[in-house]
Structure 1
Amino acid sequence: MTNRLAALAQGGASVAAIAWTGILAAPVPAIAQSEPANASSEKPAETDSGAPGEIVVTAQRRSESLQDVPISIAVVGGETLSNRSVGNFEQLAPLVPNLTVAKSPAANVIVLRGIGSSPGSPSLDQSVVMFIDGVYAGNARQFAAPFLDIERLEILRGPQGALVGRNTSAGAINIISRKPGAYFGGYLNATYDFKLDGPTIEGGMDVPVANGFAIRAVGRYSDVEGYIHNTQTDRDEPARRDIVGRITGVLDNGGPVTLTAKFEHADVRQHGTPLQAIAPDKGEYFDYTKDTVLTSGPEFDNIRSDNAVLQAGIDLGGPQLVWISAYSGFKQQQRIDGDFYFRNLATADFDQKFDQLSQELRLVSPGGQTLDYVFGLYYSKAKLVEERTTGVLFAPAASTYRIFRQDSSAFSAYAALTYHLSDALRVNGSLRYTDESKDANFALYAGPNAATQRTGTLRSQFDGSLSKGTLDPAASVQFDLSSNAMLYASFGKGSKSGGFQGAISNATEDTFAFRPERSTSFEGGIKLTLPGLGYFNLSAFHTVYKDLQVSTALPSPDGTSAPFFTGNAPKARTAGAEAEFFLQPANFLELQGSLAWLPTAKYVKFTSGPCFIGRAADGSAIGSCDLSGSRLGFAPRYSGSLTATVKQPLSNALEVRASLSPTFQGRSFRDFANDPVTAQDAFVKLDARFSLARSDGKWELALIGKNITDKRTISFGSSGGLANTFLSPTARIGVIDPPRTIAVQAKVKF
């Protein structure tokens, strides 16, 4: 196993159910609700939690079926994540149609229904925002931490500004971690991946400390090799070591006050990167080899994060008052080979330090009334320092160091009302007002020592300031056709704050700031419960975006810099449909799947967009291209997934379980400039799992195969930077997805 570098990663933040009653869903397919800590010393027998495929939706002491919620939500349970060995968002994306997650040099690309934030500037807020136990995590690098002891993931599609939180112009991802149980117990999961040549070990324990007080401590250790062979260093990259730990305490003695406290630390060290350069005119295409080398040391991408939260719930004799106080911060250091191939011509550093403090206060009605309500206030402040360097080794005087500092604050007030006109008809209305301010400073230094010593001759420096108030409304109508069928129609607006270009080499004072992003969406759907069998949900949507924020790398015009395009596309539109189902036609068989159709995902008007390599400029601005009518990046016309699981008893105590999971996607561009070279053709991938287990779930041994047909695909592509100058004018860089992997897994519960 190859040597590892020093590590650092990002974990999750905190607790709380976020803003609207009833959008938090439980694991799939049927999971009992978490029990509060209590004084009982005897562990009850495990029982089934409900009908086949039932997903229980909970929010502030209320429970309802996901089938009663007028929102398109995909839910992935913690057991599914464990069984599929899903450790990050890139591995999650294939399970959720219309969701794409790809790794780029600067930040992750997260796209939902064809809309997402580009990777050009880490300072951009995401259009698809992550909430970890209710705490807002809008920085793209906050998606870097591996999953740990997750109860469920909820992917809320479409604008969620009024219901969930700010900057959710394209959607939201809720991550809900497991809380302490009432009884002593725990688990241990161990996986060894033969292709990645390393183990992943995760374990946790519930400890009842006193009457009404329990603690859950969990940890994860992973040390795996990469799947891309670097011919220059003779190593497999990116090798990664994760160390993550979390402790959660819950005090609930049946009184009017409950307290939840959580602290999590993550440390991830990644040696090497998955980025590789190609040159089509030289017959070099994406494969599982790369040839980068740096005299200053290996490429790396390290993140360390700390997250803490304190939540209090106060029962006011019906309504509940919830207070959430949270801290989220990380420090990231990354170095890549700036020319992306074997010549030692350039290096580039991407470093960030981020700190966020937030407070939220919420009043929630008890539910089941003629009028249900949620009222809330939210405040946060954050500080971001982003440093980038470009070390031009063949022309040291052209080296640069850029530093970007940003202080931001946000205040929100929101309300959500549900009026029951009758037993079958409900009307929902929500409104959120957000006032957000940002102050930023940019400075660029140049000279022979600029990249190594982070100093030099000051070439440019300027400030920027933004302040904007936005109003995000939403409304929906629900009608129960029967006790097993619900129709809904909804309207909603979303927004994302404006921002600044960050520490890019071609930042100018005139183009430093970019405008806020706005979205308007209409959605309708039907949710069908199939008694004793499962459920089937179907939704259709139409969303228009104004001033869509776009940021992407550009070819280097002078051979010594790595420029970016950052700006606003005046108008974009997406429209399509999604279906999800769970069926249990027999006790031994489960079928779970989802489909997405996205016929419309385009720039309606974008006359000054970025150009891909080889395309002649034809846009309204110098050097730009007219992308009006062009397909959005990372937006396949169709995608889907299916999992078929068979369980067969061998005896009263043992059973075998087997599952087959195909996923598929249509053709899509893997960049934001519609480059045909980095487009990914339609494909089907196949995962499989076979296990022997005790029938009561106490232990399980499994064999897991991912991409078992060894399908080769790419997740991200871009211009090649300095490789365009020295390798080939047609050079690109990109990230290829993992090949076939085989792993063994052992699980024990006690």
Structure 2
Amino acid sequence: MAEYDPRAVEIANILASITLKSNGDFVMRPGQHHGHGYTFLASAVAIALTGSSAVAKAQQLMLEEIIVTAQKRVESLQDVPISITTMSGERIDETGITGLEELTQYMPNVTINNGAGTPNLFIRGVGSGTNAGFEQSVGLYIDGVYSGRGALATVPNSMDLQRVEVLKGPQGILFGKNTIAGAINVTSAKPSSEFEGMVGVLYEPDHGEERYDLMLSGPMADNLAGRVAVRHERMDGWWENVVTGAEGRDNDIWYGRASLQWVPLETLDVHMKYEHGDFDRQSRPTYVYQSDFTGQETSLGGVPLPTVGDPRKGAGDVDGGNEITTDVFAVTLNWDLEFATLTSISAYSYYESDGSTLNTDVTATPALSRTKYEEYTQYSQEIRFVSPGGETIDWIAGAYLQRGELEISSQTVDLDFAQSGPISVVPLYSAATAGGVPSVFDQESDSWAIFGQGTWNVSDTLRFTLGARYNEESKDLDKVTVSDGLQIRFGDNFLFANPANQQLIADVRQHSFTGLSREEDKWTYSGNIQWDIGEDTMLYASVSTGFKGGGYDEAYSGAGYEIRLANPFTGELTGESVPGADPSILEYDSEEVLAYEIGAKMRLMDGAAELNLAVFRMEYDDLQTSSLIGDVFRVGNAGESISQGVELDARWQVTQGLSFGGAVAYLDAYYEDFTGATCTIPQATDPLNNPGCLREDGTNIAPGEDGGQDLEGETLTFAPEWSASLNARLILPLGSDLLLVTNLDINYEDEFYSALDLDPNTKHDAATIVNARIALTNQDHGWTVGVVGKNLTDEETTIWNQDVPFTNSNSYFALPDRPRSIAIQAQYSF
């Protein structure tokens, strides 16, 4: 009889005791080793462990070292005094990730939310809202090039990547610009010294998803190598608009990257890269999950309303969608000067969002829609000197320069007041002449910085690091909205405002702000101490500051409250009029942070396992926020906020074929001082039964008055208290040249809010998402065939919950996540 490895018995028992409940949660039942649907995995683990027991005893198990460039040097992850989560390009391919937003499931305390059409990045509950005037509070760097605006986050597209590093906490010294919450550092695959290629296909039948990949890489001349990667993906969708018949999300995406690596000298290499993407995403899924509108079809012109609570169906007169074109060209030079390596990164980045359309009223009523055209051009240059390393003093010094040009043209159009019935109070953006652009936001920004960091290696086990950065930036703005109430040419039709609205339109919408300018400068600092306790444990403690500049509210109109609190059945306005020509309301302030972190990084079991721990506290002043008010997201500053918690991650190479990994995070993120926050609809319309919307003197408002909430002690948005991920990877040899590779991922996220007003009706429920993959690989012949399953328990989750605009009733809508999908993968490498 075979002698079973004790680890096999223990792990098999643990896995077999896991039971999947009907609600999608996983529970462990001690002593009951017959988990439904999971016994086969436990058996496989036992076989793999037992079969490899003799090999494991004879051959030392070692985890593969993770290499990062978080400190602008090539280092082991375990040697860096920063809380970092990584994902390799191989794992990204195996899990079927197609966009950065999917990383959220696998990285606790990280949220990449695409609810507003372009990604918004959050780390530890801190990030930027959806207003187009914002830059991100989480800096995104792709091959060293800063990509501060949300549309540029679509650029990496998860294709042909080497790795993704998520650095948590402010990274204001070496990464600098707008990394007040952290940074995401994306590295693409580089040209290879030998010829290689790859062809890949993915097909998911239920949603009509198709993906095609092609990669070629290799030498082109003695000192020149190149790499080309191309992807085309499309999807019919999984959601239906019952009014228009459209299906969504309807995607059609082309993306390509070409790079050259030139090494004219042993001490000099030059890397050139060009990326181009066409991202066509139409029919954005939305659904109303709570509403008092049921039975009101007649008063809304006979237009059908959505089926409340069905995330697979929605009703809108406008499908909504956007088309984004991106171009990035970058040249990176590395020159070994002996005393230091000189690195130069010169980059040009561009994107154009051509006609992003939103069904602003989120109903089938043709009341209001918004079309937005956005164009952004960025030029950046970084020069950096890095000492060789391993000396008594290791140092980095550099400078950074950036110029950005942003132009946004938007128009909000009342499509048909006649069909809208009693809706007669909705203000209208309108052009002075047919075919004109009603609102233009034209901004130029310039910034420059110098920075330095030094590490004193006191001994082989003790190190001190200090860093500083000086940053200056300026923004110049022209913002004009014409609101004459005459007419606007929309296609071939002339549309007119209801005459009853003319005075309201003129009072609250028309403004012209030209020649606005703001300048600011800031020093930021950081310091840390590292202490190696033996060869396998490193302790660290750090303190750092961060800064993100202020700016201008792109969506400013002054009419948000009036739109939001208009009763669509009676035409009654329940808000007070707000002046429409006040530039002080347009501007928002900079935000700052003081952060502390202590942590430990440990190698265990002679290198077969790793365990990392971080405890942090981040104190923010004037955190920039945005809230949906009416048809737009308005900007403000929260007084003070705190983000603190604990993060733990681990890896374990159990045998040559079995490995486990996981992470868990506890987060306590809250406003310490935030008065004047947006009130909820129930608070504003029925303050007697829903108190909390306050006047400046602290008393509750009366119906129809303006006021604000005091959110002191309340949670930040996108800040789940608990989040966790667990993954298992099992490789079983089948004969001499075949491998069976299985992956299981279980990801948990606690309840959280996406709406700044923290309306209890908009809270997201906690959810557990299960993903898995099984694949057969022939290493000798280079082919792989697999099946990838996402959200296998078909959890109904949402990425964004908000109240329905233009109403004072209890109506709320959401953007649903994709339901269960099962796709076939095939790849051939040569």
In the superposition, the TM-score normalised over structure 1's length comes to 0.88
Equivalent residue for 2:626, pick from 551, 557, 571: 551
Task: Please show how residues 127-526 of structure 1 align to structure 2 within 5 Å.
Answer: 127-145=137-155, 146-281=157-292, 284-285=308-309, 287-294=311-318, 298-333=319-354, 334-395=356-417, 398-400=428-430, 401-446=438-483, 447-450=485-488, 452=490, 459-463=510-514, 464-506=516-558, 508-526=582-600
Partner of 1:669: 753
Instruction: Give runs of ≥4 in structure 1 deviating > 4 Å.
Output: 58-62, 453-458
Letter in 2 for 1:287: P
Alignment partner, residue 626 of structure 1: 710
CA contact (8 A) 1:337 1:346 kept: yes
Deviations 1:329-387 (A, max 9, x none): 10003012222122222211122100000111111101111111110000010000112
CA displacement at 1:285 relative to structure 2: 2.9
CA contact (8 A) 2:72 2:174 kept: no
Task: Say whether the 8 Å CA contact 1:528–1:537 is kept in structure 2.
Answer: yes
1:107 touches 1:122 (CA, 8 Å); kept in 2?
A: no
Whether contact under 8 Å (2:547, 2:591) holds in the other structure is yes
C-alpha separation in 2, matches of 1:687 and 1:67 = 28
Post-superposition CA distance 1:544-589 (Å, at most 9, x none): 00000011111x3xxxxx2433110010001101111111111121
Question: How many Å separate the matches in 1 of 2:756 and 2:781?
Answer: 46
- In structure 2, the partner of 1:595 is 664
Alpha-carbon deviations, 1:285-329, whole Å to 9, x = none? 3612111124xxx53211001100111111112411111110001
Aligned in 2, Cα 1:59/1:208: closer, same or farther, shift over 3 Å?
Answer: farther
* CA displacement at 1:231 relative to structure 2: 1.2
Residue 613 of structure 1 aligns with which residue?
Answer: 681
> Contact 1:372 / 1:417 at 8 angstroms: preserved in 2?
yes
Match of 1:527 among 601, 604, 614: 601
In 2, Cα distance between equivalents of 1:253 and 1:640:
47
- Amino acid of the residue matched to residue 526 of structure 1? A
Query: How far apart, in 2, do the equivalents of 1:545 and 1:343 lie?
Result: 42
Equivalent position to 1:709, from 772, 778, 793? 793
Preserved CA contact (<8 Å) 1:105 1:275: no
SS at structure 1 position matched to 2:137: strand
What is the letter of the counterpart of residue 694 of structure 2?
A: D
Q: Which residue in the other structure is 1:692 paired with?
A: 776
Whole-Å Cα distance in 2 between the matches of residues 67 and 675 of structure 1? 42
Deviations 1:248-287 (A, max 9, x none): 0001244222111111110011121123334333572361
- Structure 2 equivalent of residue 97 of structure 1: 108
Give the Cα–Cα distance (whole angstroms) in 1 for the partners of residues 746 and 236 of structure 2: 26
Q: Partner residue of 2:826?
A: 746
Q: Which moved more, 1:106-115 or 1:216-225?
A: 106-115
Residue 105 of structure 1, CA deviation: 3.3
Q: Which shows bigger deviation, 429-438 or 229-238?
A: 229-238
In structure 2, distance between residues paired with 1:536 and 1:129: 27
Deviation at 1:642, TM superposition (A): 0.9
> Could you tell me whether the CA contact under 8 Å between 1:53 and 1:583 is conserved in 2?
no
* Alpha-carbon distance in structure 1 between the residues aligned to 2:489 and 2:555: 13
Distance in 2, Cα, partners of 1:60 & 1:663: 29
CA distance in 1 between counterparts of 2:552 and 2:738 reads 59
Structure scoring higher RCO (CA < 8 A, sep ≥ 6) equals 1
Helix, strand or coil at the partner of 1:614: helix
2:28 maps to what in 1?
A: none
Cα drift, residue 672 of structure 1: 1.5
Name the counterpart of 2:53.
none
Structure 1 stretch 148-157 or stretch 138-147: which is displaced more? 138-147
Alpha carbons 2:455, 2:463 under 8 Å: kept: yes
Shift of 1:107: 4.1
Mapped to 1, the partners of 2:489 and 2:340 lie a distance apart of: 57
Is 1:612–1:674's contact at 8 Å kept on the other side of the alignment?
Answer: yes
Tell me, in whole angstroms, the C-alpha distance in 2 between the residues paired with 1:367 and 1:515.
39
For 2:644, the equivalent position in structure 1 comes to 575
| Selected match of 1:679 from 759, 763, 766 | 763
Partner amino acid for 1:515? D
What residue is the counterpart of 1:736 in the other structure?
A: 816
Q: For residues 650 and 246 of structure 1, what CA distance do their matches in structure 2 show?
A: 36
Report the TM-score when normalising by structure 2. 0.80
The change in CA–CA distance for 1:62 and 1:547 in structure 2 (over 3 A counts) is: closer
Q: 1:497 to 1:619 in 2, by over 3 A?
A: farther
Query: Could you tell me which residue of structure 2 aligns to residue 655 of structure 1?
Result: 739
- After superposition, the Cα gap between the structure-2 partners of 1:566 and 1:234, relative to the gap in structure 1 and judged at 3 Å, is same
Aligned residue identity for 2:441: F
Distance in 1, Cα, partners of 2:781 & 2:181: 38
One-letter amino acid of the counterpart of residue 451, structure 2: Y
CA contact (8 A) 1:221 1:242 kept: yes
TM-superposed deviation, 1:451: 7.2
Deviation at 1:394, TM superposition (A): 3.6
Note the alpha carbon deviations across 1:462-514, whole angstroms, 9 max, x for none. Answer: 13211000111000000000111000000000110001001443274121111
Query: 2:63 and 2:796 mapped to 1: Cα distance?
Result: 36
Q: CA deviation at 1:627?
A: 1.2
Matched residue type, 1:141: A
User: Could you list the runs of 5+ residues in structure 1 that have no partner in the other structure?
Assistant: 1-47, 557-561
Deviation of residue 236 (structure 1)? 1.9
- CA pair 194-590 structure 1, distance change in 2 beyond 3 A: same
Query: Any unmatched runs of 5+ in structure 2?
Result: 1-58, 295-307, 418-425, 431-437, 497-505, 559-579, 685-692, 698-705
**Secondary structure of the residue that 1:156 maps to in structure 2?**
strand
Q: Which of the two has greater helix per residue?
A: 2
Q: Offset of 1:421 from its aligned partner?
A: 0.2
- SS of match in other structure, 2:681: coil
| 1:731 Cα deviation from its structure 2 partner | 2.1
The answer (yes or no) to whether the contact 2:429–2:439 under 8 Å persists in 1 is no
1:112-151: CA deviations, max 9, x gaps?
10111011x1120111110111111111221234222111
**Distance in 2 (alpha carbons) for counterparts of 1:680 and 1:697:** 47
Paired with 2:648 and 2:768, the residues of 1 have a C-alpha distance of: 18
Cα 1:692–1:465, aligned 2, differ >3 Å: closer, same or farther? Answer: same
Task: Indicate conservation of the 8 Å contact 1:106/1:122, yes or no.
Answer: no
Q: Which moved more, 1:453-462 or 1:129-138?
A: 453-462
Calculate percent identity across the aligned residue pairs. Answer: 30
- Which stretch shows the higher mean deviation, 468-477 or 161-170? 161-170
Task: Say if 1:89 and 1:619 are closer, same or farther in 2 by CA, change over 3 A.
Answer: farther
Tell me how far apart the structure 2 counterparts of residues 53 and 612 of structure 1 sit (CA, whole Å).
Answer: 50
Q: Which amino acid aligns with 1:690?
A: I
Q: Is the 8 A contact 2:70 2:167 kept in 1?
A: no
8 Å CA contact retained: 1:619, 1:626: no
For residue 697 of structure 1, report the CA deviation from its aligned partner: 7.9
